[in-house]
């Protein structure tokens, strides 16, 4: 698969994850806005002024989405291990 095709597929996945995200876990409005810019806003460029930045925006949005998923997963693991430790005490 060509890189542009892969990025397009990742954006489809990111947009679905973004729509289904439980935003009570992520209270950072800057992160949310940056993800919206990377996933959706580049699509509204009718003058084609952002053509050279679209791959970068897509790449960073996909990377940010994957990193946030890993961060939330790690936070959940820490939370669970902390609860287990508290119960043992």
Tokens encoding 49: 């002024």
Tell me, what's the pLDDT at 79? 81
Q: With CA atoms as reference, report the closest residue to 80 among 28, 27, 66, 72.
A: 72
64 CB-near residues (< 8 Å, 6+ apart)? 31, 34, 35, 38
Extents of the domains making up the chain: 3-88
To the question of pTM greater than 0.75 for the whole model, the response is: no
Vertex 61: Cα angle to 56 and 62 (nearest 5):
100
Q: How would residue 51 be classed by pLDDT, with cut points 50, 70 and 90?
A: low
Tell me, what's the pLDDT at 69? 86
Q: Give per-residue pLDDT as tens, 72-84.
A: 889 888 887 777 7
Tell me, what's the pLDDT at 1? 64
Tell me, what's the pLDDT at 57? 78
């Amino acid at each position: 698969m060509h890189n542009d095709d892969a990025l397009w597929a990742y954006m489809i996945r990111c947009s679905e994850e973004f729509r289904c995200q439980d935003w009570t876990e992520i209270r950072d409005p800057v992160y949310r806005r940056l993800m919206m810019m990377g996933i959706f806003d580049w699509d509204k460029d009718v003058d084609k002024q952002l053509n050279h930045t679209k791959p970068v925006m897509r790449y960073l949005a996909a990377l940010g989405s994957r990193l946030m998923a890993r961060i939330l997963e790690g936070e959940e693991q820490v939370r669970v291990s902390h609860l287990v430790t508290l119960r043992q005490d």
